[in-house]
Chain A
Amino acid sequence: MTERVYAGRPRPGNNFELYSWFFMRISGLLLILLVIGHMVIMHIINNVDVIDYDFVAARWASIGWRAYDWLLLFLALLHGANGVRVVIDDYVRRKGWKVFTVAVLYTFTFILLILGSLVIITFEPIGMGS
């Protein structure tokens, strides 16, 4: 009878929610370190008024800083998107609306991720030291 609600409910057959939960913990921890590093470099050591195109170009001359910024982008975007997915899961109950909102969320996240990655990977400094 009502047990079937739980016992016979279609099993997702995967550990998606488990990995999603674990990802939130790990990415959250990493983001704390990455964001503090970012803040210290961009707002404490260097003042905003010295940060310009040349500054960023000089920083991105090193593959390490590109990787740092890409990791920050990747984790922050997916951490945030996964959080919104969970909120949608909790609050949007109508199936059609759920499919729509999740589709919008995934599309938006994907576009931002591709755009950001494209900039970080393909960036080539022009007119440096001017």
Chain B
Amino acid sequence: MKVELRIKRFDPEKDQKPRWADYQVEVEPTDRLLDALHYVKWYQDGSLTFRRSCAHGICGSDCMLINGVNRLACKVLVKDLGRRITVEPMRGYPVVKDLVVDMEKFFAAYRAVKPYLINDEPAGPRERLQSPAERERYDDTTKCILCGACTTSCPSFWANDDYIGPAAIVQAHRFIFDSRDRGAAERLEVLNQREGVWRCRTIFNCTDACPRDIEVTRAIQEVKRAILFQRI
């Protein structure tokens, strides 16, 4: 099966602004888009630049705008994309080169919500036990792989990149609702700012974009409610 890849490319050393480049690639219908990108890079144009690590939908490196929606290149099959496939970098972060964006601000937001267990109580002789129900409470948000699909699909984030973004809120949710954690108050403090959860307009793009099927908008709403019940 022959497909045409239309890739938005940008070389900061040569290009003033991004340009489109077309590539004809011979693929199997069950190949992933990542395989097609590899084919271009390995056999047609070695300068094509994109991120990927595990290539199996776990590391979250190869999120890009595929046919206009955020997807992991390693998780979509070419047969589901049509004969003419457009590939662009994620929206909202500065493009470093081709499909690679500068995610420094993404991880700054991630660090701001203190994404680690906070509990200063003495550990005791055993593990900190948790019932299955308590574990279930935040199960959905443990699935996040920090690919950036949700944050870079969010119109509120496009409008204002100071917005902490759905991904950081998902990470905060994972700890706020963990029965072993004691840091909820300080995380909610960060998220109660103007650029915290209140920039969310419940557009649901994040939920649509998540390659891990996390109900991102629901998680954000749960955090809003947690702030509400904490303050009132």
Question: Closest Cβ of chain B: how far from A101's Cβ, in Å?
Answer: 15
Question: Closest Cβ of chain B: how far from A23's Cβ, in Å?
Answer: 11
Question: Closest Cβ of chain B: how far from A85's Cβ, in Å?
Answer: 12
Chain B contacts of A7 at CB under 8 A?
111-112, 190
* B24 at interface by CB-CB < 8 Å: no
Q: Once the chains bind, are B193 and A12 in contact (CB under 8 Å)?
A: yes
A105 to B108, CA, bound (A): 34
> Which of A13-21, A70-78, A106-114 lies at the binding interface?
A13-21
Q: Give the A interface residue count (CB, 8 A).
A: 19
Q: How many A-B residue pairs lie within 8 Å, measured between CB atoms? A: 52
* B59 at interface by CB-CB < 8 Å: no
A22 to B194, CA, bound (A): 14
Q: Once the chains bind, are A12 and B194 in contact (CB under 8 Å)?
A: yes
* B97 at interface by CB-CB < 8 Å: no
> Interface range on chain B: under 10, 10 to 19, 20 to 34, or 35 or more?
20 to 34
Please report whether the interface of chain B is mostly helix, strand, loop or mixed according to DSSP.
helix
Interface membership of chain A positions 51-88, coded 1 if the CB is closer than 8 angstroms to chain B and 0 otherwise: 00000000000000000000000000000000000100
A116 to B62, CA, bound (A): 56
Q: Once the chains bind, are A3 and B198 in contact (CB under 8 Å)?
A: no
Residue of B nearest to A2 (CB): B108
* A95 at interface by CB-CB < 8 Å: no
Q: Once the chains bind, are B108 and A9 in contact (CB under 8 Å)?
A: no
* B80 at interface by CB-CB < 8 Å: no
* B185 at interface by CB-CB < 8 Å: no
Chain B contacts of A100 at CB under 8 A?
none
Interface membership of chain B positions 88-128, coded 1 if the CB is closer than 8 angstroms to chain A and 0 otherwise: 00000000000000001100110110000000000000000
Question: Closest Cβ of chain B: how far from A2's Cβ, in Å?
Answer: 4
* A5 at interface by CB-CB < 8 Å: yes
* B160 at interface by CB-CB < 8 Å: yes
Q: Once the chains bind, are A5 and B198 in contact (CB under 8 Å)?
A: no
**Given A15-B192, A18-B228, A22-B228: A90 in contact with B105 (beta carbons within 8 A):** no
* Chain B contacts with A in 159-210, Cβ cutoff 8 A: 159-160, 162, 164, 190, 192-196, 198-199, 201
Q: Once the chains bind, are A6 and B231 in contact (CB under 8 Å)?
A: no
Q: Once the chains bind, are A11 and B193 in contact (CB under 8 Å)?
A: yes
Q: Once the chains bind, are B112 and A20 in contact (CB under 8 Å)?
A: no
Q: Once the chains bind, are B190 and A21 in contact (CB under 8 Å)?
A: no
Question: Which of A2, A18, A91, A93 contacts B105 (CB under 8 A)?
Answer: A2
State the B residues within 8 Å of A (CB): 104-105, 108-109, 111-112, 156, 159-160, 162, 164, 190, 192-196, 198-199, 201, 224, 227-228, 231-232
State the A residues within 8 Å of B (CB): 1-3, 5-7, 9, 11-12, 15, 17-18, 20-22, 86, 90-91, 93
